Amino acid sequence: MIGVFDSGYGGLTILRAFLDNLSEYDYFYLGDSARTPYGNKSLNTIYEYTRQAVAFLFNQGAILIILACNTASAKALRRIQQEWLPIHYPDRRVLGVVIPLAEAAVEASRYGRIGVIGTRATIESRVYEQELHKLDAGLKIYSQACPLLVPLVEEDWVGKPETNMILKKYLHPLKSKRIDSLILGCTHYPFLKKGITRIMGKNCHVMDAPRIVAEKLADYLKRHPEIEQRLEKKGRYIFVTSDDPKRFKAFGDKFLGRRITDVQNISF
């Protein structure tokens, strides 16, 4: 099966794209809602939380795990891939969302002026800048932390005047730099994409992060048949949270765009 991990609910937007485009595979979603947000945690804490989640998903039978969480992708993925995985599960894989979005932004950019919005932790990690400059050292990268957006999405304030006002304030510095592509560096932000696109205008391409990650996963599976052939294809979905299953389900139905019938609880 394919494991999908996020610090909470946001990764369900990524899973939603997987179910739309790669529905034949089995998926196991783990949301560590009891310990969210990860963004205000130390580097070692984020690594340890992510390592625990990855170990859990592998123990459940996952062959491939996607870290849908931008913070985990930015601050834990490389260490897990380089230090932990070769020792414990050398025949399995863990992937993140940063590199797929960086690659897509470079492909879409016309003038090499790319913007990134995300949580404070993701922006301060500079991981998108690093990956973008690996692809093209001449790019101009402009980043903006948007700490208020996640709680606004979770409180269902999308589209309200107050939210639009905050979006304009966050996006104004990027718009003034005349960026031509914008990376939504948080899994909650697809809910705000319509408003972001309106504010940024027709000269800026706002990346559809879930669709891009799903397309990149499909491409990865084509290039790695040794992984793809080991994945179960019965179209089954399992949902697990470290917090209240009822609360997870209430958010999950909205984020996934489908009715979730069962959510299990775990503790680390």
pLDDT of residue 154: 84
Share of the chain above pLDDT 90, in %: 83
pLDDT tens-place string over residues 174-218 = 999 999 999 999 999 999 999 999 999 999 999 999 999 999 999
Query: Are the CB atoms for 28 and 245 separated by under 8 Å?
Result: no
Bridging pattern class, strands 93-95 and 140-145:
unpaired
Which residue type is seen at 228?
E
Overall size of the chain counted in residues: 268
Residue 113 bridge partners (DSSP):
140
Rounded mean pLDDT of 2-9? 94
Residue 143 bridge partners (DSSP):
116
Q: Which positions ≥6 away from 47 have C-beta within 8 Å? A: 75, 76, 79, 80
**Every domain range in the chain assigned CATH 3.40.50.1860:** 2-96+211-265, 98-209
What would you report as the CA-atom Rg of the chain, rounded to the nearest whole angstrom?
Answer: 18
Whether residue 51 is predicted with pLDDT greater than 90 in this model: the reply is yes
* Helix or strand run (H / E) with residue 94: strand 93-95
Among 219, 203, 211, 159, smallest CA distance to 187 is for 211
Three-class SS state of 182: strand
Rounded mean pLDDT of 233-259? 91
Query: Are the CB atoms for 25 and 232 separated by under 8 Å?
Result: yes
Distances (CA, A) of 39 to 32, 69, 102, 266: 13, 10, 20, 22
Looking at the structure, give the CATH architecture of the domain made up of residues 2-96+211-265: 3-Layer(aba) Sandwich (3.40)
CATH number of 98-209: 3.40.50.1860
Q: Is 0.85 topped by the overall pTM? A: yes
pLDDT higher at 229 or 255: 229
Whether residue 267 is predicted with pLDDT greater than 90 in this model: the reply is no
Residues marked as catalytic: 69, 186
Q: Which positions ≥6 away from 131 have C-beta within 8 Å? A: 98, 99, 102
Three-class SS state of 155: coil
